[in-house]
Chain A
Amino acid sequence: MRLSLFRLITLLILGLLPMAFVQGQGCCSGGSPISGNLNIGAANSRSFSLNLTYDYNHLADLVSGSKELDDKLRRRINHSVLLRVKYAFSDRLSLIALFNLIRQEERVRSTSPNAEDTFRKAEGVGDIITVLQYQLWQAQGHTLILAGGLKWPTGRTTIADEETGIVLNPDLQPGTGSYDFTASLYYGMEHWLFNGNRLNATFTYRISSEAERFNGLQTYQFGDELFVDIGISFPVVLAKQLLYPEFSFRYRYQTEALNDRAGAPNTGGHWLYATPGFRWAFNNRWSAFAFSEIPIYRNLVGVQLTTSYRVGAGIQYDIRFQDAEKEAKPQLF
């Protein structure tokens, strides 16, 4: 596995500076929308959290550099249902596992009167991600957490077209076939600027490894990704219900992918999103949430089909085993 200077610098920064975390699924990057669905954050000792999320990623923007082309013939829609399980062994140490089902669709609008629109899909279990998080520091409303994770290649990568029997292109497959490593640093600050709000910042770097494609005829390595997420959330009481609106900015940088260890054209770039969302805490155990992701800046290498918008919603159940009388505090996201 290559360890470039960029990776080294990034990992060094990761170890020094409290920063952010993001979600983001690139265009045609294939696989699970893992980032942002891991929910790295403070947890009470012996608490258990179960989270079910539906994630909808609509990719219809064809972008060259920072210019969006007037071309909407091809559209990709990625549906994901994610089940996240989090267990805190102690106030400091937690384990997160993320399971998902993925359905990736591609529609091409034909402009010929002699041809029909085409539709292809692949669906199945995606790659499983496990993350171990360790709370480095918590004092006076400040929380600093370090996390490391591994993505396991459990998703299928060989789903074939029903008619031709030819294996569908890798970016349609539910799995990526590669082991990926993630390192994250989370920083949270209570009562930032005014009482009751929280500043969240997460900084994550994902290192991709090489995988085979086309029945072993070629190796492919998705580009490494850097995610930075900075946002604030604050409690609002509305109709006697506790809501936590959140607004954040999400930055994603992806390096060029490698095809047979050579740089693959039209891969990599910079994305900046606005990601408004909210959480509604019904009680101390149950909460519901919704999020969105709207691109506000993109500067991509070559020409790429990329996210037009992304939305998601889900529910979360939190329970604390240690003390039945002390129920788990709902986590902000």
Chain B
Amino acid sequence: MVSRFILLSLSLLLLFSCGKEQTRPTSPNPGGGNPTSRAGTKIIQDEFEGLPLVLVGSNSDNFMLAFERQLADGTVLDFEPMIQAYPSLFKDNEGNQWDIFGRAVAGPRKGQQLVQVHSYIGFWFAFGTMYPGVELYDGAAYSGDFQQNGPESGWTIPTNHVISSLGIDGIPAVDEPVFEAFSSRDAINNGYFVADDEIVVGIQMDGEIHLYPTSILNWHEIVNDQIGNTHFCMSFCPLTATSIAWDRDMDDGVTTFGISGLLYNSNVMPYDRKTNSFWSQMREDCVRGPLIGQQMARYPCVETTWSTWKKILSSPLVLTQDTGFGKKYDINPYESYINDNSYLSYPVEYDDPRVPRKERVLGVIVNGKAKAYRFKDFE
């Protein structure tokens, strides 16, 4: 009998001791992000595809923005940074001060708006594969073998890099978003669900600003939203860390978008529920279905950390966790994916080695070509 119990004890001991717990380091920044170095905003005046640009960025405050330098009246402005002057980020040679959305908040042009160049932040590998040979600011050129298969029938893209990861709506979009004005007093008293270092995406229309924490976007990837009479889709791809918003008004009415479960080059492919057409987020066009070839009507977005938003905006409208889903938004299902700088979940067509794959860069897209800027360019 004793031997039987020894046997059982050994069995149980082994049962509960075998295999070490697999743990990964905790992300210092749940939404991804580059390390900060020192406070301050830096201006880069550059030109891409013949377009004069002003790029405003801060490594410490975690934002990069791109605007056209030329105004509608033909004036080309010269810009310089402002330090610790939020909500103003930069000023020009006419004495105007501009904010994060490119709005003149002081000076003779107060109320005017700079044109935000088509640009968004994302992981380097995504720009490297979607825009092969992407130009790199202050970096070497790269000429890989960019042979691409032709598109299959019914598609505008080669399907050899279209991957099925889930079924349609396997990741549920938020169709009835609820926003509430952030109150710093309430946050101090009760705590707030957005961490200071969390990346939060913002969009501004007619003075109204909506902010979308990536802790919520990670679980939904799409928010079918509306400001005034403008219906738009805010999309976020956790695998490429790209946020892009576009219009939901179609010829025969307003549609909503959902997640198709397909990926192209590891980038999310939403579908519209009115026509069941599939779209590519980073290509910004319809790649399959009745609307094939149609371009998205895009709206500019800005992303930075919650701590920076709090410095810039007094009581922004923030997407709440009241999404109608029982998600645990404090859990980031992409935490280990983000922390591993080289790991890709799905294959991509081109792998540009000049920059670490998961480094967040600003991609500026003009005439179908891209140029990337790194946070270190703004140190």
Contacts and interface: CB of A to CB of B under 8 A. Distances in A.
Interface of A: 6, 10, 13, 17-20, 64, 67, 69-71, 73-74, 106-108, 110-115, 118-120, 161, 164-169, 189, 192-193, 201, 214-215, 217-218, 226, 228, 230, 251, 253, 255-256, 259-260, 262-266, 268-270, 299, 301-303
Nearest to B333: A303
B160 interface: yes
B326 interface: yes
B311 interface: no
A95 B255 CA distance: 60
The CB with the most chain B CB atoms within 10 A, among A10, A18, A302, is that of: A302
Interface in B232-283: 255-256, 258, 262, 273-274, 278
Contacts of A73: 169-170, 172, 325
A149 to B, nearest CB: 20
B351 to A, nearest CB: 11
Given A256-B22, A302-B333, A114 B344 contact: no
B18 interface: yes
Given A10-B18, A69-B326, A164-B288, A20 B11 contact: yes
Contact of B160 (A168, A215, A263, A268): A215
Interface in B161-179: 161-170, 172-173, 175
Given A112-B273, A218-B346, A218-B347, A71 B327 contact: yes
21 contacts: A10-B18, A17-B10, A69-B326, A69-B328, A70-B326, A71-B325, A74-B167, A112-B173, A114-B255, A114-B273, A118-B167, A118-B168, A166-B164, A167-B164, A217-B161, A251-B15, A255-B19, A264-B345, A265-B345, A266-B333, A268-B22
Contacts of A120: 167
A269 B168 CA distance: 27
B343 interface: yes
B35 to A, nearest CB: 22
Nearest to A272: B15
A17 B278 CA distance: 55
A192 B337 CA distance: 49
A323 B255 CA distance: 74
A185 to B, nearest CB: 12
B187 interface: no
A331 to B, nearest CB: 22
B21 interface: yes
B315 interface: no
Contacts of A17: 10-11, 14
B273 to A, nearest CB: 4
Nearest to B347: A217
Contacts of B15: 228, 230, 251
A114 B19 contact: no
A101 B8 CA distance: 37
A115 B344 CA distance: 30
Contacts of B204: none
Contacts, number: 150
B196 interface: no
Interface in B158-216: 159-170, 172-173, 175
The CB with the most chain A CB atoms within 10 A, among B4, B169, B324, B344, is that of: B169
Contacts of B346: 214, 218
Interface in B1-45: 4, 7-8, 10-11, 14-15, 18-22
Nearest to B159: A166
Given A110-B169, A299-B21, A64 B328 contact: yes
Contact of B256 (A107, A114, A118): A114
A263 B343 contact: yes
Nearest to A20: B11
Interface in B137-158: 152
B340 A165 contact: no
A222 B166 CA distance: 18
B7 A255 contact: no
B102 to A, nearest CB: 34
Contacts of A189: 4
A74 B159 CA distance: 26
B231 to A, nearest CB: 13
B291 to A, nearest CB: 15
B336 interface: yes
A331 B350 CA distance: 57
Nearest to B288: A164
A202 to B, nearest CB: 11
Contacts of A74: 166-167, 170
A114 B274 contact: yes
Given A259-B345, A299-B21, A301-B22, 16 more contacts: A17-B10, A64-B333, A74-B166, A111-B172, A114-B175, A114-B255, A119-B167, A161-B164, A164-B278, A164-B288, A214-B347, A218-B347, A251-B15, A253-B19, A255-B19, A302-B335
A199 to B, nearest CB: 8
A49 B15 CA distance: 31
Contacts of A255: 19, 22
B294 interface: no
B256 to A, nearest CB: 5
B345 A112 contact: no
B331 interface: yes
B112 interface: no
A214 B163 contact: yes
B84 interface: no
Contacts of B314: none
B329 to A, nearest CB: 11
Contacts of A112: 169, 172-173, 175, 256, 258, 273
A13 B15 CA distance: 11
B295 interface: no
B342 interface: yes
B18 A253 contact: yes
Contact of A19 (B14, B162, B168, B335): B14
